[in-house]
């Protein structure tokens, strides 16, 4: 397989073939809440794992900016992608999540997130990152910073 055909994260992902997300990957599993908020995407570039999301009208709050809950849902997705960036499939649940809202975002504005896996232990994985938007000056600007802990799912044998 060529690099463009290999998922950047181990797991159940399918590559997007056309449109604005062509070349990115989307998780093909079921998550009704995340599916209703997203869709969210992931890819690996020269800087590492990056996730992407373009908020729509459904993601706005009463002030006309992207709702904090939508940003936190995207941050949670990104937490798992960053945690698995070392090639280790991370299956589990979020046990802690800390978020700092730095600035607002608008519908139709492409948001990306980057971060790092701080530590991946046997049962807990620690990661952190930042959701970014591209400002009017062409520079990346922080929208939300996040950190969290994932409890790995226990593997059972039958």
Kindly state the average pLDDT of the residues 83-111. 89
Domain boundaries, the chain: 3-152
pLDDT reported for residue 5: 62
pLDDT band for position 91 (cuts 50, 70, 90):
confident
- Give the separation between CA 39 and CA 53, rounded to whole angstroms: 7
Cβ–Cβ under 8 Å, residues 74 and 113:
yes
Q: What is the pLDDT of residues 7-52, one digit of tens each?
A: 776 667 889 999 889 999 998 777 888 888 999 999 999 988 999 9
- Give the separation between CA 94 and CA 113, rounded to whole angstroms: 17
- The 3-state DSSP class for residue 3 equals helix
Q: What is the pLDDT of residues 109-158, one digit of tens each?
A: 999 999 999 999 889 999 999 999 987 788 899 999 999 999 988 765 54
How many C-beta neighbours within 10 Å does residue 109 have? 15
Q: How far is CA 142 from CA 19, 56, 57, 67, 156, in A?
A: 26, 19, 21, 16, 40
Instruction: Record the tokens describing residue 36, joined without a space.
Output: 């209703």
pLDDT reported for residue 33: 86
pLDDT reported for residue 43: 94
pLDDT at 2 over 60: no
Q: Where are the beta strands (DSSP E) in the chain?
A: 13-15, 25-27, 41-45, 48-53, 92-101, 111-120, 124-134, 140-152
CA dihedral 76, 39, 14, 50 (to 10 degrees): -50
- The 3-state DSSP class for residue 130 equals strand
3-152 folds as Thiol Ester Dehydrase; Chain A (3.10.129)
pLDDT reported for residue 6: 73
């Amino acid at each position: 397989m060529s690099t463009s055909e290999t998922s950047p994260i181990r797991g159940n992902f399918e590559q997007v073939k056309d449109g604005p997300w062509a070349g990115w990957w989307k998780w093909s599993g079921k998550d009704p809440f995340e599916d209703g908020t997203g869709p969210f995407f992931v890819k690996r570039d020269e800087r590492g794992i990056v996730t992407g999301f373009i908020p729509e009208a459904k993601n706005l709050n009463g002030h006309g900016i992207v709702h904090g809950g939508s940003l936190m849902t995207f941050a949670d997705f990104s937490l798992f992608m960053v945690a698995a960036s070392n090639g280790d499939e991370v299956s589990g649940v979020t046990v802690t999540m800390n978020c700092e809202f730095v600035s607002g975002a608008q519908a139709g504005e492409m948001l990306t997130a980057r971060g790092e896996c701080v530590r991946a232990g046997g049962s807990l994985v620690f990661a952190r990152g930042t959701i970014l938007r591209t400002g009017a000056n062409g520079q990346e600007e922080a929208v939300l910073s996040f950190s969290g802990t994932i409890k790995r799912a226990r593997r059972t044998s039958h």
